[in-house]
Each structure stands twice: as C-alpha cells, then as structure tokens.
Copies of this chain bind each other. A is one copy, B any other.
C-alpha cells in the first residue's frame, strides 16, 4: 500500500506538476528499521525511520500519509493533527466510530487538511456516475446495490495476519472493504438512516505465521500452530437511506473468482448506473429516455471528455483505472496544500462510514434493525463537511 500511495504522489507530480507544486518524498516509516530503509530506497524517499512519533513531530514535513494497519490509524492521525500536519489516512479511518469522530473533530479544530483514502470515489467513472445522478439523469434514486467481494479468504492456509484479528483490523470485511462500498452509497445516494446486518466467519482458525506481519499470500509454513480468527469473513446488510431509497451491501473475502470486485448499481425512477471496479474504465448507464426500441445499458468508456480524466490519455479506451485513481487521490491532497481548497473525501466521510459499520455490527450482534442515530449520536452535532 505504501507503494501504491507513493506511485500516486509521483504520478501526480509527473502529470499535474503545475497544480501540485514540488513534491518531496521525505521519510518512509516502518516498525522494522531494515525494511524501512530498503523500502525508502526502493521508492525514492530521502530517509527512513522506525519511529513514527518522531517523524510526525518533524518541522520539515507537511503531510503525513498513513497506510499502517487499521489500529494505528487513530493514534498516528491524532498525533499528526496535534503537530499541525495535514493528513491522508487509509480507510477505515479508525476502529470505532467514536475514535473516527474524535479524529474528525480534532482535524476540524486544528484547521488542517484531512482526507481518507476512499480511492474509488476519485475514479472518473464514479465521478461520471455522480454527475449523471446530480444532473437528474436517473430521476429520483430508489435503490442501491453494492458488493465488495474478494476470494483470498477462502484459503484456510492463509496465515493469521493482523487482518484476521479484531484488535488490529476491527470487525473484519465489514470494517475493511465495507467502508469503500458505504462511501459510494453515501456519495451516490445519500446518508444511511437504518441498517440490519448479518456476519459470518467461515475460517475460524488460521496458521500463525512466524512473521506476524503476514501478507496476503505468504505461506505460514508447515509447523505453524493455529490461532483464532475473531473477525468476519463476510457481512451483508439491508439499508434504509434518509428519504425513500433502500439498498443492500454485501462484502466477503470468500467469493472464489472475485479478485477485487467492487460492484455498485444505482437505480432511479428513470435510469440506472453500474460501476464494477474490475472494469474501472467503464460505466454502465441506462436511460429510460432513450427510444423504446433502442434503449439498453450503455458501456461508456472513460476518456479525456470525462471529469478527472482530462489530463491522462488522449483517447477513451486507453484505460483509466485504479492507478489513475491513486494519482487523482494524491492530486486532491496536494492541491489542497497548494491552494487551500479542502480535499474530499474528508475525515467527515471517514467518520460517517465508520458509523455505518458500527451500526451494522451492532445490528448483526443484536439481530435487530439499528438506527444510525444510536451510533455516537452526540458527535453528530458537529457541523458537517
């Protein structure tokens, strides 16, 4: 993920030099000094460090980019804010909505620029979906149907990395990939009012890797003992939005063949859109206003005529995917530093998505519908974005 973010900053520098100004990769931090050093060298950072607290306090650094495991987002972001640093933070913003709300309040109070890495929202295909909806092309929005399916979790030999431990990862897929879909639901439809969810853990024990940092595909080795998984492998929930729309979200890491499959469908009274992250250069769009004999889902290929994609490749069909979205995300943050314009999605969005996750987990645990107002209601009084 450090590589992906660095790629985003360098790409933004290469393609948007006049908008983003000069960018220097200052310090790469990892808990293991040797890995920090090697990665810093590989990615072109000036320095490396194993002491993130020291780094966030440095005066020669403007922006802290947090891509550590989920449990570190809150302390790192809080410390960075306290030092007056601008912060880009990977999702989920925090393990609980209470912590996320605290971050949003602290960032707002400090007047820093804050952004959460809901990268898909920056994708030009999603921007187009939003513009079509905002322009009334879909009529009134009635339904949202979202998925985030992966398949790596099907492998019982995958080691017990931090992603399978609630203390470090939060509730599981619900907290890991769930926020991406929740953010798109909020972005394209509106605020979620009520949820009812269920969760499953199908692989209850996993081998303990010698290297506790265990990545996605590493082999735990033959002599590994088994440890308990206390997060969910899959989570599905029903949603009522504020207003008349309803929706569902399903996230799972046990869907063979779905490699990194974020699927979003929005139906309005007069049209529909479909976005599929595995075909990120396309947006499907149906309009009831087309001639009755010639209507059908259109496969729109994203290109230079679409907002956000103007500065990339000279023809549609040349591909505007996740790589480009990472560059756009970095640009959004860097432009904020240059221009003072607040970046989006902000910690407010990070906090709201975390509130939905908390409500879903509560509803699943209690087997009942849960109103978002139940979750950290006091914090809601903070002025919104």
Contacts and interface: CB of A to CB of B under 8 A. Distances in A.
Contacts of A143: 234, 252, 254-255
A162 interface: no
Contacts of A318: 259-260, 321-322
A240 interface: yes
The range of chain A's interface size is 35 or more
A68 B288 CA distance: 30
B259 A303 contact: yes
A196 B288 contact: no
Interface string A347-385: 000000000000000000001110000000000000000
Interface string A252-266: 101111111100010
A258 B147 CA distance: 18
A293 B306 CA distance: 6
Interface in A249-308: 250, 252, 254-261, 265, 267-272, 277-283, 285-288, 290, 292-301, 303-306
Given A198-B240, A259-B303, A44 B293 contact: no
A318 B261 CA distance: 9
Interface string A141-159: 0110101011110100000
A248 interface: yes
A317 interface: yes
Of listed A14, A131, A272, residue having the most chain B CB within 10 A: A14
A344 interface: no
A238 B196 contact: yes
Copies of this chain, tallied across the complex:
4
A213 interface: no
Dominant SS at the A interface? mixed
Contacts of A272: 255-258
B254 A317 contact: no
A314 interface: yes
B323 A244 contact: no
A117 interface: no
Given A198-B196, A248-B250, A305-B293, A288 B256 contact: yes
Contact of A244 (B202, B304, B368): B202
30 contacts: A3-B14, A3-B15, A11-B14, A18-B41, A143-B252, A145-B250, A151-B288, A154-B288, A196-B196, A197-B238, A200-B244, A255-B265, A256-B270, A256-B271, A256-B287, A257-B272, A260-B318, A277-B317, A278-B281, A278-B301, A279-B279, A285-B296, A292-B305, A296-B299, A296-B301, A298-B298, A313-B322, A318-B321, A323-B324, A368-B368
